[in-house]
Amino acid sequence: MKVKLAFCYKYVTICGESSLHGIVMVSKQVIQQTADAIYRRTKTFLVVADQEGRVIITAGSAPKGVLASTLQEFAASERPRDITADRYISRITDQTEPVYIIAAFGTSQAPAVGEEFEVVFPALLQAERGDLNRDDFYCRLTAGRMTRLDMCGCASEFDIEIDMPYVVYTVDIPEGYGMVTAERLLERLRMRIADDVFLYDRTVPVIVHKLEENREEENSGIDELEQKLIEQTRSVAGEGAIIGKSAQISSLDYLEVAYREAREAVRISKIFGYEGQLQRYLDLLLEQIIVYLPKRVCHRLLDIMAGDTFYEQMSGEDLRIAFSFLDHSMNAAKTARELFFHRNSVNYRLNRIRRVAKLDLRNFRDAFIFKIGWLLYRYLHTNDKKGSDQDSEYNLRRF
């Protein structure tokens, strides 16, 4: 049974000795509400006491007189914990020094609730020693190693807004450039843009861009930011560096998800051999579905839709007109204006595709099949058997 608890403490060091300074990151009311929520979920009484056995917080209508004497008796003993069928009492220690006593009792789940409580508490104490800097905060958040209350406390300290929309960019630096290039790019980006920039895993520059609340991305200076990112990345890490962009997230709670999306955008673009230094996650959703399919399924689908020979017969001009036609909502007039073609030329090419592949791009269903077929063709022919069917099936299960 998993019980997640969220308590935030501030540990300080005075003259080389550790001492508990008190609850500063969150109020006692928040802690009480958390404990009450655990009690409602598990029906197990939960108690926090100091090392002398004095009760600080209780969740549920525990018999306080009996409880106090039990905790004081335990505090006076040297036992690390006391476990029975319906009770769990333990000391919470930090740097080998006891700082709190926790107790869970009243139900058969008490040992499980107390054990989980004992695991969580030291991690929270360690997390809130006050030695995190801004970069460490973002790195831990990206790795998914912070509780919500941990995050709130640190964000308040660093003056970072949590409940705001964000997008995340990551930079994939080509092999051979190394860590020095990542650090140089990090410093350059910090000089040129106003967003939070940090190195994740010491090699991946990450940019966390806050969008203005209730504003769409295109109205939030996103184009200017992306242009700066491309220019600085190209100047430091060359043309081979790729910037991945995540979908928009509603708050920093989802920073880990956004980071993985940005990294996935880079990976997918490499698999399909796409050009361009900025790759957007939302533009690559169909490609992701294809990549997670076994290769034999991709071959079969391509045979059913159009076959290899059709796409091999198409010239670059055919493809350019076809995809421009799809991008312009299947409007031949707009396509002709965009490509400086006569409208009859566009229609001629579309009719040629209909004759050869039996797909009329003026029809949505056929246009969708054409698009998927082209992605399958590009995936299977751009990669010289990158990954086996077994690998693809594993990815599909993981996805």
Tens digit of each residue's pLDDT (9 = 90 or more) over 245-274: 999 999 999 999 999 999 999 999 998 888
Q: Are 6 and 149 spatial neighbours (Cβ–Cβ below 8 Å)?
A: yes
CA distances (Å), origin 48, targets 84, 108, 123, 377: 18, 19, 16, 62
Residue 173 and residue 266 in one domain? yes
CB atoms within 10 A of CB 60: 18
Q: HEC string of 265-280?
A: HHHHHHHHCCCCCEEE
Last residue of a domain, one of 282, 300, 317: 282
Nearest CA to 197 among 236, 163, 240?
236
Token pair for residue 282?
Answer: 């939302």
DSSP 249: B
Residue 146 and residue 247 in one domain? yes
**Strand duo 97-105 + 45-50: pairing:** antiparallel
Does any domain span residue 3?
no
What pLDDT was estimated at residue 389? 40
Last residue of a domain, one of 228, 260, 282: 282
Residue 144 and residue 276 in one domain? yes
- DSSP reduced 3-state for 44: coil
Domain with 185 in it: 134-282
Residue 68 and residue 182 in one domain? no
Distance CA 19, CA 14 (A): 7
DSSP 22: E
What pLDDT was estimated at residue 216? 53
Residues 6+ apart with CB under 8 A from 50: 56, 100, 101
What pLDDT was estimated at residue 150? 74
Please list the ranges in the chain whose pLDDT falls under 50. Answer: 1-27, 124, 127-130, 384-399
Residue 138 and residue 194 in one domain? yes
Residue 182 and residue 278 in one domain? yes
Does any domain span residue 309?
yes
Residue 116 and residue 187 in one domain? no
Residue 278 and residue 139 in one domain? yes
Residue 32 and residue 98 in one domain? yes
Residues paired with residue 321 on neighbouring β-strands, in sequence order: none
Does any domain span residue 287?
no
Last residue of a domain, one of 127, 158, 178: 127
DSSP 108: T
Does any domain span residue 4?
no
Residues paired with residue 84 on neighbouring β-strands, in sequence order: 87
Question: What is the amino acid identity at position 299?
Answer: H
What pLDDT was estimated at residue 110? 87
Distance CA 158, CA 391 (A): 42
Angle value at C-alpha 362, between 359 and 365, nearest 5 degrees: 60
Distance CA 306, CA 355 (A): 12
Strands (E), 261-374: 278-280
Distance CA 124, CA 38 (A): 17
Does any domain span residue 205?
yes
Distance CA 222, CA 217 (A): 6
**Strand duo 204-210 + 17-22: pairing:** unpaired
CATH at 246: 3.30.70.270
Q: How many residues does the chain have?
A: 399
Residue 147 and residue 256 in one domain? yes
Does any domain span residue 5?
no
Q: Is the pTM of this model over 0.75?
A: no
Domain count for the chain, please give it: 3
CB atoms within 10 A of CB 221: 14
Does any domain span residue 29?
yes
Does any domain span residue 343?
yes
What pLDDT was estimated at residue 23? 34
Token pair for residue 256?
Answer: 């880990």
CA distances (Å), origin 257, targets 123, 171, 225, 250: 22, 16, 21, 11
CATH at 369: 1.10.10.2840
* Helix 316-327 with 332-339: angle, nearest 10 deg: 120
Distance CA 197, CA 308 (A): 44
Question: What is the amino acid identity at position 126?
Answer: Q
- DSSP reduced 3-state for 100: strand
Distance CA 48, CA 305 (A): 65
What pLDDT was estimated at residue 52? 82
Residue 276 and residue 154 in one domain? yes
Residue 355 and residue 392 in one domain? yes
What pLDDT was estimated at residue 65? 64
